[in-house]
């Protein structure tokens, strides 16, 4: 091994207090547990994963089976493993189970795709491989040898890097003409909240939409730096709280603000966290907090494999959001390469899709009532996203084939409105969607968007 | 670079951008969209919805009394009176039909009042058996305006023959009872909704948010869905067979009174447009409506015309095309098919304006589940 790699790996393997990782684990796990409970109590398990007649699968995950009432069991596993994960109980097993069950849920229906769920999936994937149970964990009580005061620096930094990517890319995505020059879509969304107490009337003002847009972009691009830099960190953390609480008041984005606020704890100085947990131990002596001086080391065989695997993971994370550049056409319009790229709150996009099914043999035509097949939320997603349109066409094809039509042709007239512009025809209505395939190639049946949105 | 300086750069850029922002076909910067949804809802409740239910109740009270008179002593003048009040009430219903939210939705009024076509066999079976529950959902196509229409006009072609069914026919008594029960059922259903609105009103006008259960969301969804499914499709699209390519005259509204079908559709279009524009039910005073909300949000089309105006104009021209249609819908679906299909296309072109442009400008959520704005 060359000296430079050794040196670099030395920096990466510098000891940092394990308490930083442990506290993050505790907070993240409890939050996910709360998220599962919330989902359950709101009746969303049934609404989103049991009642729908059809589901929209992710590309390559068509095989993921739906569980019917067994979905409750899946959520039970997810919730319990989140709790065990938080407490550091059987950490390796619980972290794997949590990752698998959470990801399974996400894979059930891409209608419910949210960027922050994707973020959670990625963090959980990382956490499986990190020694997050070396402190403040029940595992340490069961097996004291697992307790270590120190962990290699890269373990903490990998979580920080993940958060950094999320924020920074979300900021980059806001550098476009609609967001900065038109204050879209906030200009449509903010007045919808003008009945809020005290600040409500301000939300009518166009300049407020501009201020929010610009501040939002500035915030996303800079807050990870301010969080990393010790002198600005306290202010940045206050900004994190204010910003995300404000978004949770203004928009129906559920857990996302709290995930971001609590995750930002990972930016705190590991020494400060160590001091904090030691103080806590003074009050609650039962807490398994380490005051020793052992350093956690990975088994030498897999040490570098793990490090390189993480490097590959992050290279993918850094590159993946740029895949949209490989597609022609307007990203916001085609959404080819839009998902998994930290594009949050960027578009007010609404569609209307009227499907007709034609029997090639008899010439009979049937108008489709989408509500017979899809939930309202599925219909909303389907009407604006080409891959959903195709999958829905397949659903219709199979349905009408079972109804006795030999080779149903599926056509759709779709109108889409985006960021306040007048609705226009979205796809070629003369294309038999049942015969089109959902590939990574550009979908040529999408009608080109005439307006240009400048920027990233 | 000092981070304070870094802070200044975007602030300076921001001020420059907002300062230099040129006017274009996007929402108007000068327009202050300080729109008061509470005032909109109050206008709808007090000046449209509540007066509409009062009027509907009154018309159905009249219908019930005329039908009772006819049933007591069936003759041709009482038959004519019953038909006339039926017709007046049916036209009035066109202004109420679009209000299927709140109490109307929970009582599913439309199903009881205007499910067409009537299923004659079911209706006859009810009369013969004499035991039926009109509240039962399965009976929705054996009651309401279409069922009364059948009993007053569709059962036979001459007045004398119709009256025969209520005098000399073996089922005359049972048929009279059924006819009276239908009128009473409609009146009681509408009265229920009317009185429910008295208490619901305050809930309605105080729910000023835009979430999935808010009044603005319920009203908009009902309004848009009514247009697409019951006006566009129900009155024109299904009978003309716009999607199937096959005319289906039996699906025409007011099938047994063909001269009325177009009038009903025009009345529905007018009511729809008036509601959109926030016009009062009785006095036509221009109050706050969807058009004002849309104007306040300020979205425009490519030519710079306000979307609020685009929708109004398109509704107007579709209404006048429909008014100028030269024949009845029942005959026209076969004889003047292409003209009617053209009108359907006109009606259809308004659907995306309502479902996409209007709804998205209002910033309404359609479900309670989380989203991150795509």
DSSP B78-146: HHHHHHHHHHHHHHHHTTTGGG-STHHHHTTHHHHH--SS--HHHHHHHHHH----TTSGGGGGGSHHH
- List CB contacts (< 8 A) between A333 and chain B: none
B373: nearest CB among A218, A229, A251? A251
Going from the C-alpha of A332 to that of each of A174, A216, A240, A344, B13, the distances in angstroms are 12, 19, 27, 12, 24
Bridge partners of residue A416, in order along the sequence: A351, A424
Task: Report residue A418: phi and psi, to 5°.
Answer: -135, 130
Q: How far is A189 from chain B, CA to nearest CA, in Å? A: 5
Please identify, among A263, A289, A323, the residue that sits at the C-terminal boundary of a domain.
Answer: A323
Q: Across all residues in chain A, what is the average pLDDT? A: 94
- List CB contacts (< 8 A) between A231 and chain B: none
- B1-5 — which CB contacts under 8 Å span 24+ positions? B3/A226, B3/A229, B3/A232
Question: Angle, nearest 10°, between helix axes A153-173 and A206-228?
Answer: 160
Q: Quick one: A26 and A129 in the same domain?
A: yes
User: Quick check: B120 contacting A, CB < 8 Å?
Assistant: no
- CB contact under 8 Å between B373 and A189, yes or no, is yes
pLDDT in tens, B75-109: 999 999 999 999 999 999 999 999 999 998 888 89
Q: Quick one: A248 and A281 in the same domain?
A: yes
More confident residue, A283 or B69: B69
The predicted structure's pLDDT at residue A13: 86
Percentage, residues of chain A above pLDDT 90? 86
Of B273, B253, B275, B276, residue with least CA distance to B263:
B253
- List CB contacts (< 8 A) between B35 and chain A: 191, 194, 204
The predicted structure's pLDDT at residue A299: 84
Is the previous residue joined to A185 through a cis bond, with omega within 30 degrees of 0? yes
Bridge partners of residue A414, in order along the sequence: A353
Query: Is the confidence at residue A226, as pLDDT, over 80?
Result: yes
Whether A96 is in a domain gets the answer yes
A252: nearest CB among B237, B301, B371? B371
Q: Quick one: A206 and A157 in the same domain?
A: yes
- CB contact under 8 Å between A384 and B243, yes or no, is no
pLDDT in tens, A382-440: 999 999 999 999 999 999 999 999 999 999 999 999 999 999 999 999 999 999 999 99
Q: How far is B251 from chain A, CA to nearest CA, in Å? A: 16
User: Quick check: B131 contacting A, CB < 8 Å?
Assistant: no
Counted domains in chain A: 2
Q: Kindly identify which residue of chain B lies nearest to residue A189, measuring between CA atoms.
A: B363
- CB contact under 8 Å between B6 and A222, yes or no, is yes
Q: Quick one: A74 and A201 in the same domain?
A: yes
The predicted structure's pLDDT at residue B4: 52
Q: Kindly identify which residue of chain A lies nearest to residue B20, measuring between CA atoms.
A: A181
Query: Is the confidence at residue A178, as pLDDT, over 90?
Result: yes
CATH topology of domain B37-362: A middle domain of Talin 1 (1.20.1420)
- Under 8 Å CB pairs connecting chains A and B tally to 160
- List CB contacts (< 8 A) between A188 and chain B: 297, 299, 360-361, 363
User: Quick check: B320 contacting A, CB < 8 Å?
Assistant: no
CA–CA gap between residue B194 and residue B284 (Å, rounded): 21
Q: Quick one: A16 and A141 in the same domain?
A: yes
CA–CA gap between residue B272 and residue B264 (Å, rounded): 12
B363: nearest CB among A189, A232, A351? A189
User: Quick check: A345 contacting B, CB < 8 Å?
Assistant: yes
Q: Quick one: A356 and A308 in the same domain?
A: no
User: Quick check: B254 contacting A, CB < 8 Å?
Assistant: no
Q: A150-152 and A349-359: which strand pairing?
A: unpaired
Task: Report residue B199: phi and psi, to 5°.
Answer: -90, -35
The predicted structure's pLDDT at residue A427: 97
Of B326, B86, B277, B324, residue with least CA distance to B183:
B86
Query: Is the confidence at residue A87, as pLDDT, over 50?
Result: yes
Q: Residue A9: pLDDT band by 50, 70, 90 thresholds?
A: low
User: Which residues are CB-contacts of B75 (< 8 A; sequence separation ≥ 6)?
Assistant: B163
Q: Quick one: A143 and A20 in the same domain?
A: yes
A376: nearest CB among B297, B361, B367? B367
- List CB contacts (< 8 A) between B38 and chain A: 195
Going from the C-alpha of A52 to that of each of A16, A77, A372, B134, B246, the distances in angstroms are 48, 22, 10, 32, 32
Place of tokens 């009845």: B328
**Which two structure tokens, joined as six digits, stand for B86?**
């039926």
CA–CA gap between residue A332 and residue A345 (Å, rounded): 12
- CB contact under 8 Å between B208 and A195, yes or no, is yes
Weakly modelled stretches of chain B, pLDDT under 70: 1-34, 369, 372-374
**Which two structure tokens, joined as six digits, stand for B63?**
């219908």
- CB contact under 8 Å between A422 and B32, yes or no, is no
Whether A264 is in a domain gets the answer yes
Q: Quick one: A274 and A365 in the same domain?
A: no
CA-based max dimension of chain A:
82
**Which two structure tokens, joined as six digits, stand for A350?**
């609404």
Query: What is the domain partition of chain B in residue ranges?
Result: 37-362
CA–CA gap between residue B325 and residue B263 (Å, rounded): 10
Q: Quick one: A221 and A114 in the same domain?
A: yes
Range of the domain at A223: 11-323
- CB contact under 8 Å between B14 and A205, yes or no, is no
User: Quick check: A181 contacting B, CB < 8 Å?
Assistant: yes
- CB contact under 8 Å between B300 and A422, yes or no, is yes
Whether A405 is in a domain gets the answer yes
Bridge partners of residue B279, in order along the sequence: B286
pLDDT in tens, A123-140: 999 999 999 999 999 999
**Pick among A211, A215, A350 to test the B interface (most B CBs inside 10 A):** A350
- List CB contacts (< 8 A) between B364 and chain A: 192
Q: Quick one: A387 and A262 in the same domain?
A: no
Q: How far is A409 from chain B, CA to nearest CA, in Å? A: 13
The predicted structure's pLDDT at residue A415: 97
Residue A455 and residue A175 in contact, taking contact as beta carbons nearer than 8 Å: yes
Bridge partners of residue A15, in order along the sequence: A152
Q: Quick one: A53 and A174 in the same domain?
A: yes
- List CB contacts (< 8 A) between A119 and chain B: none
User: Quick check: B245 contacting A, CB < 8 Å?
Assistant: yes
Q: By mean pLDDT, which of A228-237, A254-263, B348-357 is the weakest?
A: A254-263
This prediction's pTM: 0.90
CA–CA gap between residue A248 and residue A176 (Å, rounded): 23
**Which two structure tokens, joined as six digits, stand for B53?**
């239910």
User: Which residues are CB-contacts of A231 (< 8 A; sequence separation ≥ 6)?
Assistant: none
Whether A392 is in a domain gets the answer yes
A115: nearest CB among B296, B369, B372? B372
Of A219, A207, A218, A201, residue with least CA distance to A183:
A207
Q: What is the ipTM of this complex?
A: 0.89
A380: nearest CB among B37, B244, B366? B366
- CB contact under 8 Å between A350 and B211, yes or no, is no
What's the per-residue H, E or C state across chain A? CCHHHHHHHHHHCCEEEHHHHHHHHHHHHHHHHHHHHHHHHCCHHHHHHHCCCCCCCCCCCCCCCCCCCHHHHHHHHHHHHHHHHHHCCCHHHHHHHHHHHHHHHHHHCHHHCCHHHHHHHHHHHHHHCCCCCCCCCHHHHHCHHHCCCEEEHHHHHHHHHHHHHHHHHHHHHCCEHHHHHCCCCHHHHCHHHCCCCCCHHHHHCHHHHHHHHHHHHHHHHHHHHHHHCHHHHHHHHHHHHHHHHHHHHHCCCCCHHHHHHHHHHHHCCHHHHHHHHHHHHHHCCCCCCCCCCCECCCCHHHHHHHHHHHHHHHHHHHHHHHHHHHCCCCHHHHCCCCCCCCCCCCCCEEEEEEEEEEECCCCCEEECCHHHCCCHHHHHHHCCCHHHHHHHHHHHHHHHHHCCCCCEEEEEEEEEEECCCCCEECECCCCCHHHCCCCCCCCCCECCCCCCCCEC
Q: Kindly identify which residue of chain B lies nearest to residue A110, measuring between CA atoms.
A: B374
Q: Quick one: A72 and A20 in the same domain?
A: yes
Going from the C-alpha of A419 to that of each of A183, A187, A191, B307, the distances in angstroms are 9, 9, 14, 14
Place of tokens 């979300």: A170
């Amino acid at each position: 091994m060359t000296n430079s790699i050794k040196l670099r790996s030395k920096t990466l393997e510098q000891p940092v207090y394990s308490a930083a990782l442990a506290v993050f684990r505790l907070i993240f796990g409890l939050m996910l547990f709360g998220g599962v409970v919330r989902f359950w109590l709101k009746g969303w398990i049934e609404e989103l994963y049991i009642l729908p007649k059809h589901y929209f699968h992710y590309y390559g995950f068509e095989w993921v089976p739906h569980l019917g009432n067994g979905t409750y069991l899946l959520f039970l596993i997810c919730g319990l493993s989140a709790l065990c994960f938080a407490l550091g109980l059987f950490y390796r097993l619980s972290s794997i189970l949590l990752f698998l069950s959470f990801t399974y849920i996400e894979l059930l229906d891409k209608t419910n795709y949210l960027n922050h769920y994707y973020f959670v999936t990625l963090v959980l994937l990382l956490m499986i491989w990190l020694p997050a149970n070396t402190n403040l964990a029940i595992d340490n009580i069961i097996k004291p040898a697992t307790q270590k005061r120190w962990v290699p620096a890269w373990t903490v930094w990998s979580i920080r890097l993940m958060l950094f990517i999320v924020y920074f890319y979300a900021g980059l995505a806001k550098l476009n003409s609609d967001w900065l020059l038109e204050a879209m879509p906030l200009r449509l969304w903010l007045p919808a909240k003008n009945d809020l107490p005290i600040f409500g009337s301000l939300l009518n003002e166009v300049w407020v939409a501009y201020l929010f847009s610009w501040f939002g972009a500035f915030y996303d691009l800079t807050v990870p730096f301010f969080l990393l830099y010790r002198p600005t960190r306290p202010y940045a953390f206050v900004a994190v709280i204010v910003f995300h609480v404000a978004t949770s008041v203004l928009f129906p984005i559920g857990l996302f603000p709290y995930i971001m606020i609590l995750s930002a704890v990972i930016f705190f100085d590991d020494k400060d966290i160590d001091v904090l947990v030691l103080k806590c131990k003074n009050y609650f002596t039962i807490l398994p907090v380490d005051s020793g001086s052992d350093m956690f080391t990975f088994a030498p065989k897999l040490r570098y494999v793990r490090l390189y695997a993480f490097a590959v993971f992050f290279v993918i994370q850094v590159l993946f959001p740029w895949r949209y550049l490989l597609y022609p056409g307007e990203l916001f319009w085609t959404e080819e390469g839009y998902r998994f790229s930290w594009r949050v709150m960027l578009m007010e996009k609404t569609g209307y899709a009227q499907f007709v099914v034609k029997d090639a043999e008899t010439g009979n035509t049937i108008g489709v009532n989408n509500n017979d097949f899809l939930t309202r939320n599925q219909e909303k997603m389907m009407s604006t996203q080409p891959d959903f349109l195709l999958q829905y066409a397949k659903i219709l094809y199979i349905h009408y084939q079972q109804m006795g039509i030999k080779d149903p042709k599926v056509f759709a007239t779709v109108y889409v409105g985006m960021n306040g512009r007048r609705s226009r025809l979205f796809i070629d209505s003369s294309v038999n969607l049942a015969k089109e395939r959902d590939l990574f190639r550009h979908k040529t049946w999408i009608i080109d968007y005439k307006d240009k949105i400048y920027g990233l | 670079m000092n981070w304070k300086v870094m802070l200044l750069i975007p602030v300076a850029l921001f001020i420059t951008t907002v300062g230099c922002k040129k006017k274009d076909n996007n929402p108007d910067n000068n327009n202050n969209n300080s729109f008061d949804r509470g005032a909109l809802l109050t206008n709808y409740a007090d000046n449209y919805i509540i007066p509409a239910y009062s009027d509907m109740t009154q018309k159905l009270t009249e219908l019930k009394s005329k039908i009772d008179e006819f049933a007591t002593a069936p003759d041709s003048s009482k038959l004519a009176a019953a038909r006339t009040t039926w017709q007046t009430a049916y036209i009035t219903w066109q202004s109420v039909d679009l209000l299927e939210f709140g109490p109307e939705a929970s009582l599913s009024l439309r199903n009881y009042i205007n499910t067409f076509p009537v299923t004659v066999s079911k209706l006859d079976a009810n009369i013969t058996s004499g035991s039926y529950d009109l509240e039962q959902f399965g009976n929705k196509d054996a009651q309401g305006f279409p069922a009364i229409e059948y009993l007053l006009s569709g059962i036979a072609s001459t007045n004398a023959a119709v009256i025969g069914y209520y005098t000399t026919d073996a089922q005359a008594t049972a048929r009279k009872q059924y006819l009276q029960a239908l009128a009473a059922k409609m009146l009681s259903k509408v009265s229920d909704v009317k009185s429910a609105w008295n208490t619901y009103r305050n809930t309605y006008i105080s729910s000023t948010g835009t979430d999935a259960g808010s009044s603005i969301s319920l009203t908009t969804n009902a309004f848009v869905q009514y247009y697409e499914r019951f006006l566009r499709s129900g009155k024109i699209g299904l009978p003309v067979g716009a999607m199937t390519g096959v005319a289906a005259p039996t699906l025409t509204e007011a099938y047994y009174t063909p001269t009325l079908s177009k009038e009903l559709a025009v009345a529905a279009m007018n009511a729809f447009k008036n509601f959109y524009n926030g016009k009062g039910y009785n006095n036509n005073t221009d109050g706050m409506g969807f058009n004002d909300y849309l104007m306040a949000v300020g979205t425009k089309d490519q030519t710079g015309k306000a979307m609020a105006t685009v929708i109004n104009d398109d509704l107007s021209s579709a209404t006048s095309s429909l008014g100028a249609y030269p024949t009845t819908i029942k005959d026209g679906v076969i004889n003047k098919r292409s003209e009617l299909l053209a009108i359907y296309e006109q009606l259809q072109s308004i659907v995306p304006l309502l479902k996409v442009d209007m709804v998205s400008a209002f910033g309404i959520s359609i479900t309670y589940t989380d989203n991150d704005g795509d």
